[in-house]
């Protein structure tokens, strides 16, 4: 049993971080006690690891969070002895004093981890036109560490320091996982006459591409004479490919229709009944995709979920907010109040990387209630729309970035949670990127890097 002494200020937040890092990730049993101490003291037999507090003990709880409390600079820590290379330090200073019986870590690992996991910077940050916290406003983007899971790196550093004092302690083993998720915003490309007109007008007029328009006309004709599957109705392809590689796909169904970017189908469309049955029978997962307006409307959130549960025949427990619209911590609270088990919204809408600084699922901390919730966040690391539309990557560039991202997650034996919409796989304009999806699912054994 590892004994840890912490000061009383922000004891809930510090306890939350310590329990997660030590017990849930490292698998080490701890006993936390409240003492009049300036820094966190970790007792290992007759030896001591001190993790300095440069944040919690210096601010008043009533004044938290405030922009003045954001990291004012991000320094880097490197150590050949600890095999650490340019680790971003959000709070504290990039120094560690190594002794045979006492180690003093001047990097504030608790506050830095809490900053990334709680996402409290988003509570006081700006919003884009969709009410989302923008990528460019994040500390991770400003200091260029958004493609590093720095909380995982803090955990590795913590374990390395513990082993210098107590070599016999071993961390809990983990295994790398690929978790494909699919937000079902549309089910048919060639549905109503109005829909067909809009799609073709977009290709011929908006895009100004005769080639693209002609390709879509051919596809429309093939679908209508049953020579091809509708480009959006790809459940068989998605489930079949996941099953080939022993994976479970998550299908998050958009249920609302009140906003212009919401679903263009009804969730109780009878054509979906066999799809719901097939997903469950084949061992995949149905999840909830709350519509655009639910971020501000809990009643609407609950109404849509009730409809999805009734239609699908199950109680949905996992999902993701539509358009990645999310308010910290209000949206988490809505999910927790409705007994949801896992959210997977927190990924970048404009880039790829580690919005929460970690590639493991973790329990949510509500900064307004000052407590840990039952809800688990499963961070989203890659969304194809971000790479294709926002970053404007070529297929080769996107493939390389995804490969590098997966290698980073593998290094930490984490979860590669990614989003690929069902409607961006077989469109003429999108299908040149499909090999990337297949590479991810096959762990890059199909085409390689």
The domain that holds 321 is classified in CATH as 3.20.20.370
Residue 234 sits in the same domain as residue 114:
no
Q: Can you list the alpha helix ranges (DSSP code H) found in 260-411?
A: 273-281, 298-312, 330-337, 384-385, 395-411
Residue 282 sits in the same domain as residue 338:
yes
Domain membership of residue 292 as a residue range: 177-189+230-441
Residue 147 sits in the same domain as residue 281:
no
DSSP classification of residue 20: I
Residue 90 sits in the same domain as residue 141:
yes
Residue 370 sits in the same domain as residue 284:
yes
In a domain, 407, yes or no: yes
In a domain, 417, yes or no: yes
The residue written with tokens 């068989």 in the block is 236
Residue 247 sits in the same domain as residue 156:
no
In a domain, 222, yes or no: no
CA-CA-CA-CA dihedral for 252, 257, 262, 264, to nearest 10:
90
DSSP classification of residue 173: P
Measured CA to CA, the distance from residue 89 to residue 151 in angstroms comes to 11
* Cβ-contact 417, 179 below 8 angstroms: yes
Tokens of 12: 């809930």
Number of domains into which the chain is organized: 2
* Cβ-contact 146, 355 below 8 angstroms: yes
Residue 272 sits in the same domain as residue 390:
yes
Residue 140 sits in the same domain as residue 244:
no
pLDDT tens for the 449 residues of the chain, in order = 999 999 999 999 999 999 999 999 999 999 999 999 999 999 998 999 999 999 999 999 999 999 999 999 999 999 999 999 999 999 999 999 999 999 999 999 999 999 999 999 999 999 999 999 999 999 999 999 999 999 999 999 999 999 999 999 999 999 999 999 999 999 998 877 777 777 767 667 666 677 777 787 887 878 777 878 899 999 999 999 999 999 999 999 999 999 999 999 999 999 899 999 999 999 999 999 999 999 989 999 999 999 999 999 999 999 999 999 999 999 999 999 999 999 999 999 999 999 999 999 999 999 999 999 999 999 999 999 999 999 999 999 999 999 999 999 999 999 999 999 999 999 888 899 999 999 999 999 987 76
Question: Residue 303 in 3-state DSSP?
Answer: helix
Residue 404 sits in the same domain as residue 384:
yes
Q: Can you list the alpha helix ranges (DSSP code H) found in 73-108?
A: none
Residue 155 sits in the same domain as residue 239:
no
In a domain, 213, yes or no: no
List for the chain the helix, strand, coil content (%; round to 5).
40, 20, 40
The secondary element (H helix, E strand) that includes residue 196 is helix 193-201
């Amino acid at each position: 049993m590892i004994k840890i002494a912490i000061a009383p200020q922000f004891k809930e937040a510090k306890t939350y971080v310590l329990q997660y890092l030590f017990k849930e990730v490292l698998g080490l049993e701890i006993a936390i006690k409240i003492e009049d101490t300036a820094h966190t003291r970790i007792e290992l037999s007759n030896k001591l690891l001190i993790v300095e507090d440069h944040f919690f003990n210096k601010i008043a709880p009533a004044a938290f969070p405030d922009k003045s409390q954001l990291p004012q600079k991000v320094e880097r820590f490197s150590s050949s002895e600890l095999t650490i290379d340019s680790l971003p330090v959000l709070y504290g200073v990039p120094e560690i004093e190594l002794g045979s019986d006492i180690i003093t870590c001047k990097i504030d690992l608790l506050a830095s981890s809490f900053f990334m996991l709680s996402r409290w910077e988003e509570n006081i940050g700006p919003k884009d036109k969709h009410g989302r916290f923008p990528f460019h406003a994040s500390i991770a983007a400003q200091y260029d560490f958004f493609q590093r899971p720095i909380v995982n790196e803090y955990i590795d550093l913590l374990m390395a320091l513990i082993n210098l004092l107590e070599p016999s302690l071993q961390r809990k083993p983990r295994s790398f996982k690929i978790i494909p998720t699919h937000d079902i915003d549309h089910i048919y490309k060639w549905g109503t006459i109005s829909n067909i007109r809009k799609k073709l007008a977009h290709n011929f007029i908006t895009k100004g591409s005769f080639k693209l328009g002609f390709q879509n006309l051919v596809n429309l004709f093939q679908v209508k004479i049953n020579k091809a599957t509708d480009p959006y109705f790809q459940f068989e392809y998605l489930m079949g490919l996941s099953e080939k590689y022993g994976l479970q796909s998550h299908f998050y169904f958009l249920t609302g229709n009140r906003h212009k970017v919401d679903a263009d189908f009804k969730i109780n469309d009878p054509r979906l009944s066999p799809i719901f049955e097939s997903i469950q029978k084949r061992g995949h997962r149905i999840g909830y995709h709350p519509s655009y307006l639910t971020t501000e409307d809990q009643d609407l959130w609950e109404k849509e979920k009730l409809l999805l549960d009734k239609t699908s025949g199950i109680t949905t427990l996992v999902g993701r907010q539509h358009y990645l619209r999310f308010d910290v911590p209000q949206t988490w609270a809505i999910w927790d109040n409705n007994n949801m088990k896992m959210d997977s919204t927190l990924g970048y809408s404009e880039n790829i990387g580690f919005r929460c600084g970690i590639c493991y699922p973790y329990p949510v901390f509500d900064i307004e209630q000052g407590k840990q919730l039952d809800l688990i966040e499963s961070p989203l690391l890659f969304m194809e729309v971000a790479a294709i539309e926002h970053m404007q990557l070529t297929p080769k560039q996107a493939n390389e970035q995804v490969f590098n991202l997966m290698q980073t997650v593998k290094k930490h034996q984490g979860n590669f949670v990614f989003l690929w919409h069902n409607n961006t796989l077989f469109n003429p304009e999108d299908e040149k990127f499909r090999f990337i999806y297949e590479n991810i699912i096959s762990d890059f054994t199909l085409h390689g890097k």
